Amino acid sequence: MKHILVVDNQIANCELLSKFLTKKNFTVATTTKGNHALQMLRQNKYDLILAEYSLPDTQGNDFFDEVHKMDPTANMILMGKEVNLKNVVTLIQKGARNFISKPLNPDELLDALQKAGNGTNYKIPTKPSPPQKTKPTPASSDRVTGNSKKARAIIEQVERVGPTNFSVIIQGETGTGKESLAHLIHQKSMRKDGPFVAVDCGCLSRELAGSELFGHEKGSFTGAAFQKVGFFEQADGGTIFLDEIANLPMDIQTALLRALQEKVIRKIGGTKEIPVDVRIIAATNENLSEKSETANFREDLYFRLCEYTLDVPSLRERPEDIPLFLDFFLEETSRELQRPKARFCKEATALLEEYDWPGNIRELRNVIRRATLFADSENLISLDSLPSRISNYRDSLYDTDESRADEESSPVRNKGDLKSTALKAESRRIMEVLEKVRYNKTRAAEVLNIHRKTLYVKLKLLNIPC
């Protein structure tokens, strides 16, 4: 098999697939629209068609039917994200060679192409798999929420706001699972059968942000070879999740405000107003209320978005959840690697429960996945398998304990010496800042111009509750 037609709704995806498959000795043609693909198929013969299920001008089932009317022997592999399983089964039964979930895995893609070239179709199981005797776990690691009081309070708020159509702002540090909560809110809503479109606003360039969100017309700017459907149109009837919304440029904030108020959008270079019905869930690791008081974020947009606000606690604020996450991620990694579940030694477990986790749940998951690779023959993970930043944290704790012991044994302690006076002044300053920022440790570290980890070490050294 040499000649492949790639049909994807994103120009960037077409370019990436073309480069990748060309390196694998395929001849590749690309397009972003189903109708254009049909024209290309009338003019050329392709060994295989690799097509996105959700195209701007058609859907997978309709596109597949049109192709097979033209050529009943056509080889087609479809790909997509969060596509209804029933539709996938229908396509396979009609004769599609395979269906690949996005984001694409290179090895999986090449395997599917090879099997399609050999005339092998994906087989749909006719009998259910035997029941597994393992305890049920969430379908995705991102859906772990915890059992602490703070975690349960967040879930109660999700249950409360989910069924409404309120716009929601989710605030929390990086890695706390804000997108996970957005998914849960969507699943609790009347829009759960509609699309959920996640957008990382931090990755949107100033030049292309408007095009990505609202779409563009053909020829509206250099490189706009085709009409583009933006994220808002893709999310019509469902939910759009705007992660790191504080990074949006001001002109895009203005267009977003209009879309929220008028429930219409206008493509870049277009004159037609397109009605859209979407629910907005925004997320940020900044304080939008404070930012809206500056020239960096529109105050009217903030008030339009904050119909409901969720403040997600950091992992260090709910350490009782750490053992639950440790166990879950160990099981998840075990299934992924198809090997027996590993376990941490007592010293490693104690350190992981003590560490402050600046990267929160995301960091914890990555540490466990990496450490599992270094488990010994008895599936035990030792201290040496942990990243150096965690080992260094352990050393800093030991140094702090020794320093405190030295101070307690000092004959001049609390006698007005320079060191004691400096410590008292430092303690007062830290408490002043903490009270001013309402004990937000991240904000306090910024005001004090020190790293958050340094602040926690100082809190322990000064015996200030944290």
The better pLDDT of the pair 437, 250 is held by 250
pLDDT for 184: 94
Choose the weakest-confidence range: 190-204, 213-227, 394-408.
394-408
Residue 454's SS3 state is: helix
Token pair, residue 391, equals 């080992």
pLDDT for 403: 47
The pTM assigned to this predicted structure is 0.57
Residues 6+ apart with CB under 8 A from 232: 213, 214, 215, 240, 259, 265, 276, 278
Token pair, residue 231, equals 């994220």
Q: Name residue 199's amino acid.
A: V
pLDDT for 119: 53
Q: What domains are defined for the chain?
A: 3-117 (3.40.50.2300), 149-313 (3.40.50.300), 317-406 (1.10.8.60), 410-466 (1.10.10.60)
CA angle at 274 for the pair 254 and 255, rounded to the nearest 5°: 5
CA 438/CA 307 separation, integer angstroms: 22
Classify strands 168-171 and 98-101 as parallel, antiparallel or unpaired.
Answer: unpaired
Choose the weakest-confidence range: 66-75, 236-245, 299-308, 428-437.
428-437
pLDDT in tens, 194-204: 999 999 888 88
pLDDT at 123 over 50: no
The better pLDDT of the pair 438, 8 is held by 8
pLDDT for 459: 77
pLDDT in tens, 3-20: 899 998 888 788 888 888
pLDDT for 132: 35
pLDDT in tens, 78-112: 888 766 666 777 777 778 888 887 777 777 788 78
